[in-house]
Homo-oligomer: A and B are copies of this chain.
Amino acid sequence: MNRDSKIPKATITRLSLYCRQLELLEFDGYRMVSSEKLAWLCRVNPAQVRKDLGYFGEFGVRGVGYDVRDLKRQIKKILAINRDWNLGIAGIGNLGTALLSYQNFPARGFNFVAAFDSDPKKIGKVFSSGLVIRDVDELKNAVKELNIEIGVITTPPAVAQGIVDLFLDANVNAILNFSPTQIHVPECCLIENIDFTIKLDVLTYKLKNELGI
């Protein structure tokens, strides 16, 4: 049975949250945590924590709680973040530049090993990290050379699909897309979209319909 196919995406997202809070608890010297406390820290309810973890096995001890370090390790293994990942980013404008210096990526094992652009004025620029902006024409070779596993898209919408296709053609099967456009990927590939204005639309909808503003 492929147990994983039944697991809701929201559960995976919450596992990521639990993992962070467990790291903070470990940092603060806690050895055990109850589902109630973990739930409170993550702003969910305790039954949700137990249900989410229940998809993957038995982790806690009834009446005692979870071993902080062990649960953190188990979740990292489940999420496949118990190792580092190599990222390539295409489109080095303001957002791309900001992401390249976003310290939370390397802190969590996500390392930008290549940056691409098509603008001759940008190609060859060296960041303080030592990363050099490469011509997007070199993408396929760079993927192979540097073992890029995830492609990050911060290009203008009009060229985003073309860049995604370059990544797919180079056998990068996972895309994190920041470009506010709908990207098409085949069934065998993964895409996650981060769209700032859609989140704002959700806020304005709720401001009107829930708060009556």
Contact = CB atoms under 8 A, between A and B. Distances in A.
Given A196-B104, A203-B176, A206-B174, A43 B98 contact: no
A210 to B, nearest CB: 7
A101 B95 CA distance: 9
Nearest to A95: B98
Contact of A105 (B78, B197, B211): B197
B173 A102 contact: no
A205 interface: yes
Contacts of A176: 196, 199-200, 203
Interface string A187-213: 010101010111111111111111101
B149 A105 contact: no
A107 to B, nearest CB: 9
B85 A200 contact: yes
Contacts of A20: 180
25 contacts: A12-B202, A13-B202, A16-B198, A16-B201, A16-B202, A17-B182, A19-B201, A20-B180, A43-B182, A79-B204, A80-B205, A80-B208, A93-B98, A94-B98, A95-B98, A98-B98, A102-B196, A105-B200, A149-B213, A174-B204, A176-B196, A176-B203, A190-B203, A194-B196, A194-B199
Interface of A: 4, 9, 12-13, 15-17, 19-21, 41-43, 78-81, 85, 93-95, 97-99, 101-102, 104-105, 108, 110, 149-150, 173-174, 176, 180, 182, 184, 188, 190, 192, 194, 196-211, 213
